[in-house]
Amino acid sequence: MEDLLIIGGGPAGYAAALRAAQLGLKSILIEKDRPGGTCLNRGCIPTKALIKSALLYEQMADLASFGINTAEYTLDFTKVQERKARVTEDLVKGIEMLLEKKGVITVKGTATFLDSQRVQVLTEEGAEVLEAKNILIATGSKAFDPPIPGMDLPGVIGSDEILNIDHVPKRLFVSGASVIGLEFASIFLAFGSEVHVSGRTFLKREDAEIQRRLQNLLRRKGMKFHLGGRLQRIEQREDGLEVYFEGKKGEESVIVDSVLMSAGRIANMDGLDLKAAGVEFDNKGIHVNEFLETSAPGVYAAGDVIGGEMLAHVATHEALYIVGRIAGEEGPIDYRAVPACTFTIPELASVGMTEEEVKSEGLPYKSAKFPFIAASKAQCDGSTDGFVKVLTSEEGKILGVHILGAGASELIAEATLAIAHDMSAEDLYETIHAHPTLPEALSEAVMATQGLAIHQL
């Protein structure tokens, strides 16, 4: 009998398999497609490859200000897609090689529980039964869109389809001002699409000030927002698709060429037969305790399938924790500092509490910002949009950091470390930051909470 059976080869599953190999545990990884899951094959990685191309294309328009004269330039979207596919393929092959070199047994197929220690796996060769002392469910999530009349019309697509689209739509409607929706909206806006975005909310988990500023920046770039109401229906017209939605003055509509449905994602529990294993769940996902163990002893779950923060890095962290626990490590998992990044143009990143959360808990606090326009490196780079916002307790403990601007996803790492280790504002700003660099903006923002910022009036 194996020590660990892993269902799903995404960021949680393959990480668990590799850690199990490191710790000398015998494991089997079941994956119906290729390792990497949605994140690597159809999500985080391919979209970031597209974002890079989109950002470079957008920056081309401003090269003259840097003293670089280009008579003309064009977009070869076929090569953009080829590069995205190459980046994704290289990374998938890298994970496949790691699994092979570490001696991880992988089975390509779909798993269904027979009981809490046995699963039936359906492969191309037939069905086989696998047994293990412990089982990790890491089946991730799947796209969810509420049924809307007209969703089956040609030109109405999901995130998988738009990743492989062979052209840049002249007019694109994005249903859902979510992370996924806004990233694709930014990509195609940069490539030249007329972009409309609808949604009941706008990045609802982010700090309200960040929401407002990002929305304003995207509007300045030409993105059109229709927020506050639901998508009603889609109808075919001679000149495109007419999309109807709730507007400020009642029902409104626009005509576009393509509609991206990106309302959100839900836990993927398809075909698992969790009841056979005695695993409790609801429509939000599988129920787990503080040790990520389900209601069935020895059966664990990690990542998107348990709901909560649907982030690849959280899934990986949870999986490594579970394997460590199986190997004998103690203690509950620590979620105090979970960074989140949204790769719009410009990007944003956050960790810790929002200002609204601090207020709702009635905590005395200090809030300060430092604009990138006052940062030397941002001026050199020509990327001055945005700011760093820091929230601390009255005693100076860092409660939350929110960053909008170029490099936000890299800058958030220092802030995450600070919150994870209960650092104070003084701890951070007394650390010497290299000059000229973007992290100086974080240091200045932290100093500003104490009224000590140097480069700010």
Q: Active-site residue numbers?
A: 435
Structure tokens at 385: 């949009």
SS3 278: coil
Alpha-carbon distance 410 to 339, whole Å?
Answer: 11
Closest CA to 405 of 425, 378, 366: 378
Measuring CA to CA, how many Å separate 90 from each of 18, 36, 97, 102? 18, 12, 11, 18
Alpha-carbon distance 312 to 388, whole Å?
Answer: 24
SS3 49: helix
Given a contact cutoff of 8 angstroms between Cβ atoms, the answer to whether 122 and 112 are in contact is: yes
How does DSSP classify residue 264?
-
Structure tokens at 418: 């600070």
Structure tokens at 96: 């496949």
Closest CA to 169 of 258, 87, 234: 258
b (16+ CB within 10 A) / e for 156-167:
bbebeebbebee
